[in-house]
Structure 1
Amino acid sequence: MELIYKGKTKDVYKLDGNNVLLKFKDDVTGEDGVFDPGANTVGLSIEGAGQSGLRMTKYFFEKMADKDIPTHYVDANIDEVTMTVRSAKVFGKGLEVICRYRAVGSFLRRYGAYCEEGQPLDAFVEVTLKDDDRNDPPINKDGLAQLGLLTTDEYVTLEALTKEISGVVRAELATKGLDLYDIKLEFGRDAESGKIMLIDEISGGNMRVYKDGTYIAPMDLEKLILA
């Protein structure tokens, strides 16, 4: 298979037609050997992390399909740690969309003068540009439109999808007594139809989840959800 892109946590290969193959790795983002879903660098490698992330991603993408939420998911092979997806065109060089239910992470670092750690938030949606050199700068609706990355109507769609998807994940976690603090999502346009859809993954590696005030590591989270 032809390698299209070598990423931090997965590699992308070209398939026939409009599909591509994602190969999940055991590398996770973080700094100084500590996992951080918001970090721009690979911080450590955890054996089994790729398969764990894929199992959760398959689980949640199938939940989205049940609710007719558009995603790039086609199917997954857990043993080979691969996922077949529809080709997507990202916005610019890529956007990350974070839905926040609690004041933690970079939100707390920026706005800590006005909030306390863990303070509840009402599905606060934040968009950042994928740009490691500039530390993934936040950008608003007007900025996205003026830079030609996203129309204002597309932003409305993006925000609504973010809240809907995050709400599905949050509700599912709540059935296990788990509390979703924030989740990072990625979107793109279907390469054929141009329709905005959820891409990348939904796993413990792109969310912060707590149980009774204690942080749950990604691989432990997968075991709790899929047990």
Structure 2
Amino acid sequence: GIPNHFIAQVAPNQMHIRRVEIIPLEVVVRNRAAGSLCRQTGLPLGLELNPPLVEFYLKNDALGDPLLTGDRLRLLQIATDEEVAQITQMALAVNTHLSRFFAECGITLVDFKLEFGRSQRGEILLADEISPDSCRLWNQEETDPEKRILDKDRFRQDLGAIEEAYALVMQRVLAHSIP
């Protein structure tokens, strides 16, 4: 039920999508404290965030993808207040579905990144992938803080076993059907 750019899967590695103009924002939804949130605030790793935190970052590698406030979003005219509210609502709806789905797979969805775009008619559409490269995922069956990591943090933290972690995510996801 989330408006998105996907039309059809036409081959195992190909899909048809609607053309969108990508809004230069990375939208991060956080369910638990991790990564830059811990480094920048001193919050303990794994602290549950209730309600989830939605953050906006300028999609600009040269500037280091800086965190944006509401006033900076308005100053840069990246999106209107109404679009920001719609994106926030859509991101939280995605979070509700993904959190429930991953929990059924024995995985905690710590946080994830989304991107949105505008269709030719001006609709805001989800226009991004969901993968262990764009999510922070923890194995609920593992208590060791390093062994539980099933995402790109295995690479970032030089923990090894990246392929095995991604394969475990895929195995669990394929064992469940998305409602």
TM-score range, shorter chain: 0.7 to 0.9
Match of 1:116 in 2: 44
Q: Which TM-score applies when normalising by structure 2?
A: 0.81
Determine the structure 1 residue equivalent to 2:167. 219
Number of equivalenced pairs: 154
SS in 2 for 1:136: coil
Q: CA RMSD in A?
A: 1.3
1:85 aligns with 2:17: yes
Q: Would the aligned equivalents of 1:204 and 1:219 in 2 still touch at CA under 8 Å?
A: no
Moved over 6 A (4+): none
Unaligned runs of 5+ residues in structure 1 are: 1-67
User: In the aligned structure 1, how far is the partner of 2:167 from the partner of 2:113?
Assistant: 17
Under a length normalisation based on structure 1, what TM-score does the superposition of the two structures give? 0.65
Q: In structure 2, give the amino acid aligned to 1:215.
A: I
CA drift of 1:181 comes to 0.3
Deviation at 1:204, TM superposition (A): 2.0
Structure with the higher fraction of residues in strand conformation: 1
In structure 1, the residue matched to 2:103 is: 174
Q: Paired residue for 2:134, among 183, 206, 224? A: 206
Distance 1:142-1:218 versus aligned 2 partners, 3 A rule: farther
Superposed CA offset, 1:121-147 (max 9, x none):
121001101111111101022211121
Q: Quick one: distance in 2 between partners of 1:76 and 1:138? A: 34
Structure 1 counterpart of 2:3: 70
Q: Which residue does the alignment assign to 2:35?
A: 105
3-state DSSP class of the match of 1:215? coil
Contact 1:102 1:120 in 2 (8 A): yes
Distance 2:64 2:135 in 1: 19
Confirm whether residue 127 of structure 1 aligns to residue 56 of structure 2: yes
Structure 2: gaps of 5 or more residues:
151-164
1:95 alignment counterpart: 25
Does structure 2 conserve the Cα–Cα contact (< 8 Å) formed by 1:204 and 1:222? no
